Structure 1
């Protein structure tokens, strides 16, 4: 009976929808609200309100990869020429200097994360140079957390030691799946031995949080593959695990996601079975579900932040603490002042040109209005805590009856429970949290996209 019910829910709610790392989502940013002056003003406001007390987050995008993984939706530049490292580092440092010159005092860094691309494409020596150039113009919060993403095939012990010596205590490794057929389809040949090596080296050096990123719904992937991957993952016992649904959006990301045929992809029902199997196996191994698609041991800071109600979500994904301001450096990086968003240009050469001209390399953004700020709060509550509440003073209260009417069917299906001025997503409804958030998304309601912009919710 449960399987039939799940199949029915999947058929009903498996629609295209955002992952809500922001609200409004990027396709619904309104250009006429945005200007470079408006972005700078929003950042200065955020900085004045929060830097002294909580600090800011810093995301640094390093886009280079030596080979293309066909499951990847990130902005990257494929090259084997490591001569690109120093010019890119110089540009990132110039961009950081432009922001530091804008701010009235030294920024206090609470979180810093290196993503990509492949951050470990860069040599340890060059990474050391970049990080020291960043830190020389900042102070550190007492409880700062530095983290980076590493590729198991090219992350060396020297990489790990260099990052650790500079204050990094968290690292995540992209694993995806251990089956060779799946790895060939996604162009990510990565033996278990490589993951084992870097995981054990990180733990031996002293990292207090080692994460593995796994994906379900990949081409040719089966439940047996998921079971095998999680069995191997349990051997290494990472502190946290991201267990994502593969987002197949080749109409947006281009030929990079055309390394296989759509007929090779699992169905929506098969993907959900893969997820339920994986989740069950992770629970049995002592992991706790955190927000959407994340799992952590009780000793990990992500679990602790969930328990203390401090879990936050932004363009870096789930984080263990919230900062009002987040500055993104590098091509395609997105910044968040809380009052506005700004995204950098996506082309490396355009990026170099702008920073060398002394221009913050932002290409687009959105300034949030009062309604946006309120709905953002509710969607963050749902994504992080699976519940939210409201009062008659909420500025969009006139539209609340329509939202609640839209949620009535989900309530009847057992996905959520509504009370007076509050809503809680049930255990049964957690896989459909994106669908619940979509009911609050007024931008999505008011402007139906001309083409599909998002991956399927299941």
Structure 2
């Protein structure tokens, strides 16, 4: 248990604007450690098979497996989007892709000595609701028929309000799904036109109400600040509309501008808010969310007080993985589909990004792994610390960890402390409320993988 931290108020003279200017640098979001660009790429297929078996032996019976299923197709391009996706209106692609995922999961089933216990399923994309209810039923029925669903399993999916039908919602509900996340981003028409995602409020209202009518226990809205044409007035209007629907959870993300990786983002580059304006949009949104009764959960996430996500934060049982914050303690996340990422505690693996190459590898009887990373003991220690900070705003030092902090990094911690962002002592470290916008910067202090390769340019979004 950490002691009571007292910030060093004598040094708290730097203004918030100065801090934002200083720390608004590229930084990982730390859904994992090491972060994907810093993987050692030392994973072979035989090693992966061995470690999957080890992980299931160690954790599968008590914690189960969580599945992330990547469904990459979209009918139109949202120009802000940084996801792996394929734009098409040809729905004939559904069946062969579903067949590939079934074959991939079948290969994993052969590695296990019993029906796996399922702690959760998440459908991401792309647009999962690009797939017909019948296609989704075929895929999920295959998985569920060959698994034991754990008592508190969480099944969730990402839905596009424009094409998530009542039939989609009912089919997935009947299969055990109780959480849906809608990508809203912004309700202003000028913003929607710029990012090529036009979805009227009435359509979002209908999708939300139908989900609740069917019985979904949690509706999440994804919102983004820093988009083209956003102003203080448009943000206020968006949140006024959000307040009418009262989603259970809200993710309020910073727009990640990486036009070198996602060229479509260049189309609105001239209309993006300036750095200081962008931060003001976040602060105003956060202020409105608090006035609406939402409470902060880690980075970028807010929930109503009775939501299990906020309760987990209060009870220090919150977890984080490649899908974001979760209440599931499962240490085994298996990613299915092209570009999906698996985390089995001992190693990470990412599937081939292109759909055709992914399908070819699966068809040839291989796991479609393109790259991976086997964690060292030092990686595991650093990961545990970083994820504690990301989830709980505080962490205890593991044995000898504090003593092993290099002088340069210790000095960086001292600067953060002097700026009133953190407090630390021989027992552990705490992110103070003023330090929450800079939590990614603090985590970078413990990112030895990044420090060892400072000469390399990484494509991370800015921290703030």
Q: TM-score range by the shorter chain?
A: over 0.9
Q: Does 1:319 align with 2:326?
A: yes
Q: Does 1:152 align with 2:129?
A: no
Q: Does 1:438 align with 2:444?
A: yes
Q: Any idea what the Cα deviations from partners look like across 1:368-423, whole Å, max 9, x if unmatched?
A: 001000000010011000111114434x8423544222111111110001122211
Return the alpha-carbon distance in structure 2 between the equivalents of residues 67 and 41 of structure 1.
40
TM-score normalised to the size of structure 1? 0.97
Equivalent in the alignment of 1:367: 374
Return the alpha-carbon distance in structure 2 between the equivalents of residues 241 and 333 of structure 1.
24
Q: Does 1:344 align with 2:354?
A: no
Equivalent in the alignment of 2:192: 183
Counterparts of residues 359-398 of structure 1 (less than 5 Å): 359-394=366-401, 397-398=403-404
Return the alpha-carbon distance in structure 2 between the equivalents of residues 327 and 418 of structure 1.
36
Mapped contact 1:59–1:115 kept (Cα < 8 A)? yes
Counterparts of residues 25-424 of structure 1 (less than 5 Å): 25-31=35-41, 33-253=42-262, 255-261=263-269, 263-394=270-401, 397-424=403-430
Equivalent in the alignment of 1:429: 435
Mapped contact 1:149–1:172 kept (Cα < 8 A)? yes
Return the alpha-carbon distance in structure 1 between the equivalents of residues 305 and 49 of structure 2.
40
TM-score normalised to the size of structure 2? 0.95
Mapped contact 2:14–2:419 kept (Cα < 8 A)? no
Q: How many residue pairs are counted as aligned between the two chains?
A: 453
Q: Does 1:14 align with 2:24?
A: yes
SS at match of 1:47: helix
Mapped contact 2:37–2:458 kept (Cα < 8 A)? no
Return the alpha-carbon distance in structure 1 between the equivalents of residues 321 and 265 of structure 2.
25
In the alignment, structure 1 segments of 5+ residues that lack a partner are: none
Mapped contact 2:381–2:398 kept (Cα < 8 A)? no
Mapped contact 1:64–1:79 kept (Cα < 8 A)? yes
Mapped contact 2:220–2:250 kept (Cα < 8 A)? yes
Return the alpha-carbon distance in structure 2 between the equivalents of residues 61 and 405 of structure 1.
42
Equivalent in the alignment of 1:447: 453
Q: Any idea what the Cα deviations from partners look like across 1:206-260, whole Å, max 9, x if unmatched?
A: 111000000000011111111111110010000000000000112123x232221
Return the alpha-carbon distance in structure 1 between the equivalents of residues 237 and 210 of structure 2.
23
Equivalent in the alignment of 2:9: none
Mapped contact 1:311–1:320 kept (Cα < 8 A)? yes
Mapped contact 1:24–1:376 kept (Cα < 8 A)? yes
Single out whichever of 142-151 and 96-105 deviates more from structure 2.
Answer: 96-105
Return the alpha-carbon distance in structure 1 between the equivalents of residues 272 and 430 of structure 2.
33
Return the alpha-carbon distance in structure 2 between the equivalents of residues 14 and 105 of structure 1.
48
SS at match of 1:250: coil
Structure 1 residue 303 displacement after superposition: 1.1
Return the alpha-carbon distance in structure 2 between the equivalents of residues 373 and 28 of structure 1.
14
Mapped contact 1:63–1:75 kept (Cα < 8 A)? yes
Return the alpha-carbon distance in structure 1 between the equivalents of residues 39 and 95 of structure 2.
33
